[in-house]
């Protein structure tokens, strides 16, 4: 198996605060890695570094055998690195299906020229059908025509994951995709993720360990910007270092 | 209705609406209105669609006016070529300025544009006086090329009307394309668009240049319509008019830009005849729009239409016998 992502000594300082402190991580193809850790431990910042929203203070990021440490976010997306956001991020001012227009046109040969991109109707050709096709995958097809702002939080999450999947990711980074959802919605999203797990490499951040413990192949525990433990999920949870930093602060409510 | 037919009907309705003004206003006035509408359309692409409010868009109108005017004076007697050169002047200027301004957002974007506009105004007033004739400006002589007789007010009316329709049609195509979705997405959340794999800087620049070129077209037409160019064409104070027109018509809607453009022109042309300090009413109207009338005339009309359609659907359902509470 080949490595999709390799991180070496990744560090990010915000003034005096070291949010991410010398993190090393290797992710193999088709692997699902979970990252857990208390609030403020640097999980989201780590994603922001991997995906290029922030430049690291030190360290190196290699994606698909290419050093992308200084690549722009859109270049990383073009290479197949796709993410979702902790606060659900969809386009509220667009209709639901329009959220996918920019994704499907990226892979549509008919829109490869800027002229076509700027003058052919978004409702015409295969674009709209392709968008509806993606929505069908996540079960949002019957809401395709509504305004995105009118969707429930759970549906917005589904839409956001649909957007991510339509970008044909090789590596999918999910930042707390289950937070703020009802139990039913959590099941929906986990079912969806289980379906794609075999085809995509996934890194998932989650606050509630119990939700993802049977879903991930490997679990990393982050605390104060470092990985304090890493390995097979059930073993990691038994690690005394983890119990100290994680449950010590959080109590056992989360699991 | 076929989409192509629909386009034609829409253009006919727009043309018809301007023709309806003919019995009430001088053709010269209506031509002026239509040129302003072209400018508002260009402004709306930047402000209403992409969410970038500029306080210096008149610079590109001015560039178009001076570009066309100076071309007619020194380079060519062909008014159509002069219009193209006016657009080219605005386009080139925006290509350069755009490299800097599109990096900014919000107040910074507005103010950097304002600074560029002021600089342009100053250049035209004083250092380039030898070419532009400073404050006094210059007149443009005979502007006739066969059938294209810009000396005739009637010809100018038709020419500008057709140009307006072409601009409207072009913008309609462009704003309903995937690129249109991109521009609206940048307005809502530019970072998110980058994470869809798009180089937003490039597209913001492109939109800025496109918008400025259309503004340049309206400037070139202004020069031909008045046969005269002076620094007033790029007076930053007029920028407020475009903002107001977008807001009152409904920002981010092409029809909104047209309606807003005409309404603003009517107000600014005729209110001063009856009311001293008419700008105060403009200010009051702006307050009402911002607090009570967010969507503008066209936006409110759309809401009303969709509500009417929804209640018609409800009535049709209850007509089929389903009891309604
Ligand atoms: N843009 C930023 N500027 C300054 N500090 C930040 C920024 N982003 C995150 N931080 C800080 O970095 C630390 C880690 O935050 P974060 O990565 O969001 O944690 P987590 O996602 O694990 O809850 C926090 O102390 C947070 O305040
Ligand atoms: Mg976080």
Average pLDDT, chain B: 88
Low-confidence ranges of chain B (pLDDT < 50): 322-325
Please tell me the number of the ligand nearest to residue A40's CA. 1
Domain count, chain A: 1
For ligand 2, a single-atom ion, the residues with CB < 5 A are A 44, 86
Domain count, chain B: 2
Asked if A8 contacts A59 with a C-beta cutoff of 8 angstroms, the reply is yes
User: Is A212 a domain residue?
Assistant: yes
Q: What pLDDT does B215 receive?
A: 97
Q: What is the ipTM of this complex?
A: 0.91
Residues B316 and B289 in one domain: no
DSSP conformation class of B237 = G
Atom of ligand 1 nearest to the CA of A47: 17
Indicate which residue's Cα is closest to atom 24 of ligand 1: A40
Put simply, the answer to whether B196 touches A106 (Cβ < 8 Å) is yes
Atom of ligand 1 nearest to the CA of A222: 22
Q: Where are the alpha helices (DSSP H) in chain B?
A: 3-20, 27-44, 58-70, 79-101, 106-125, 129-132, 153-175, 178-188, 190-194, 200-226, 239-249, 254-274, 279-292, 296-319
**Residue-range definition of the domain harbouring residue B318:** 296-325
Q: Rounded to the nearest 5°, which phi and psi values hold at B259?
A: -65, -45
Residues B159 and B306 in one domain: no
Question: Whole-prediction pTM value?
Answer: 0.91
Tens of pLDDT, residue by residue over B179-200, are 999 999 999 999 999 999 999 9
Q: What pLDDT does A247 receive?
A: 61
Torsion from C-alpha of A56, A58, A61, A66, nearest 10 degrees? 110
Task: Name the CA radius of gyration of chain A, rounded.
Answer: 19
Q: What pLDDT does A246 receive?
A: 64
Give chain A positions within 8 Å (CB) of B197. Answer: 74, 77-78, 106, 167
Q: What pLDDT does B172 receive?
A: 94
Ligand 2 mean position, distance from CA A206 (Å): 9
**Residue-range definition of the domain harbouring residue A106:** 3-247
Tens of pLDDT, residue by residue over B199-240, are 999 999 999 999 999 999 999 999 999 989 999 999 888 888
**Phi and psi based region of residue B174 (left: phi greater than 0; alpha: psi -120 to 50; beta: remaining):** alpha
Tell me the nearest-neighbour CA distance from B191 into chain A, angstroms. Answer: 8
Query: A41 CB less than 6 Å from ligand 1?
Result: yes
Mutate to test the interface with B, among A118, A131, A171 (most CBs of B within 10 A): A118
Query: Residue written as tokens 């072209």?
Result: B38
DSSP conformation class of A110 = G
Give the list of residues 6+ apart from residue A20 with CB closer than 8 angstroms, or none: A10, A11, A12, A42, A45, A46, A49, A56, A225
Query: A32 CB less than 6 Å from ligand 1?
Result: no
**Phi and psi based region of residue B145 (left: phi greater than 0; alpha: psi -120 to 50; beta: remaining):** beta
What is the torsional sign of CA B286, B287, B290, B296?
negative
Residues within 8 A of B (CB atoms), A 73-92 only: 73-74, 77-78, 82-83, 85, 89, 91-92
Q: What pLDDT does B324 receive?
A: 45
User: Is A255 a domain residue?
Assistant: no
State the CATH number of the domain containing residue B170.
1.10.3470
Query: Residue written as tokens 């402004």?
Result: B43
pLDDT along chain A (255 residues), means of 10: 88 92 93 92 94 94 93 94 93 94 84 83 85 91 92 92 93 92 88 90 89 88 90 83 65 43
Ligand 1 mean position, distance from CA A12 (Å): 10
User: Is A186 a domain residue?
Assistant: yes
Cα angle: B242, vertex B243, B246; to 5 degrees: 85
Residues B161 and B272 in one domain: yes
Q: Rounded to the nearest 5°, which phi and psi values hold at B52?
A: -110, 105
Residues B178 and B237 in one domain: yes
- The H or E element spanning position A153 is helix A153-166
Residues B310 and B164 in one domain: no
CA atoms within 13 A on the CB side of B61: 28
C-alpha A158/C-alpha A20 separation (Å) is 29
């Amino acid at each position: 198996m080949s490595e999709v992502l390799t991180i070496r000594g990744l560090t990010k300082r915000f003034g005096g605060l070291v949010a991410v402190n010398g993190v090393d991580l290797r992710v193999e193809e088709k692997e699902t890695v979970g990252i857990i850790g208390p609030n403020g431990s640097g999980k989201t910042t780590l994603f922001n570094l991997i995906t290029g929203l922030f430049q690291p203070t030190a360290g190196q990021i290699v994606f698909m055998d290419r050093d992308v440490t200084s690549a722009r976010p859109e270049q990383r997306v073009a290479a197949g690195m796709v993410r979702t956001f902790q606060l659900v991020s969809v386009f509220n001012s667009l209709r639901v299906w329009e959220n996918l227009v920019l994704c499907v046109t990226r892979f549509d040969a008919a829109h490869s020229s800027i002229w076509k991109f700027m003058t052919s109707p978004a409702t015409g050709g295969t674009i709209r059908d392709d968008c509806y096709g993606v929505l069908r995958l996540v079960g949002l097809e019957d809401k395709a025509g509504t305004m995105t702002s009118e969707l429930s939080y759970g549906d917005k999450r589904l839409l956001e994951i649909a957007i991510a999947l339509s970008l044909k990711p090789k590596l999918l980074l999910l930042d707390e995709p289950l937070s703020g959802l009802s139990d039913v919605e959590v099941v929906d999203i986990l079912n969806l993720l289980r379906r794609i797990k075999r085809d995509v490499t996934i890194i998932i951040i989650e606050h509630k360990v119990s939700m993802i413990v049977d879903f991930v192949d490997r679990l990393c525990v982050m605390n104060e910007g470092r990985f304090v433990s890493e390995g097979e999920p059930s073993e990691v949870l038994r690690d005394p270092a983890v119990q100290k930093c994680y449950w010590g602060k959080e109590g056992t409510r989360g699991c | 209705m076929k989409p192509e037919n629909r386009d034609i009907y829409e253009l006919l309705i727009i043309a018809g609406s301007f023709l309806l003004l003919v019995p009430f206003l001088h053709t010269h006035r209506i031509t002026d209105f239509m040129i302003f509408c072209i400018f508002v359309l260009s402004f709306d692409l930047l402000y209403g669609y992409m969410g970038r409010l500029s306080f210096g868009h008149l610079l590109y109108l001015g560039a178009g006016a001076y570009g066309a005017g100076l071309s007619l004076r020194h380079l060519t007697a062909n008014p159509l070529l002069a219009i193209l050169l006016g657009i080219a002047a605005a386009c080139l200027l925006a290509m350069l300025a755009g490299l800097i301004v599109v990096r900014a957002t919000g107040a910074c974007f507005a103010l950097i544009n304002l600074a560029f506009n002021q600089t342009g105004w100053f250049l035209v007033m004083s250092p380039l006086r030898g070419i532009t004739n400073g404050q006094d400006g210059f007149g443009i002589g005979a502007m006739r090329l066969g059938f294209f007789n810009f000396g005739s007010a009637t010809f100018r009316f038709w020419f500008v009307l057709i140009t307006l329709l072409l601009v409207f049609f072009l913008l309609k195509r462009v704003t309903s394309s995937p690129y249109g979705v991109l521009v609206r997405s940048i307005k809502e959340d530019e970072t998110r668009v980058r994470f869809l794999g798009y180089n937003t800087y490039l597209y913001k620049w492109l939109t800025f240049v496109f918008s400025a070129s259309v503004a340049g077209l309206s400037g070139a037409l202004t020069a031909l319509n008045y046969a005269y160019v002076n620094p007033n064409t790029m007076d930053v104070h007029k920028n407020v008019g475009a903002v107001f027109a977008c807001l009152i018509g409904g920002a981010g809607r092409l029809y909104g830009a047209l309606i807003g453009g005409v309404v603003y022109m009517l107000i600014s042309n005729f209110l001063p005849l009856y009311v001293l300090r008419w700008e105060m009413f403009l200010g009051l109207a702006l307050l009402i729009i911002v607090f009570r009338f967010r969507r503008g005339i066209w936006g409110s009309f759309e809401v009303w239409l969709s509500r009417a359609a929804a209640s018609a659907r409800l009535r049709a359902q209850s007509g089929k016998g389903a009891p309604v509470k």
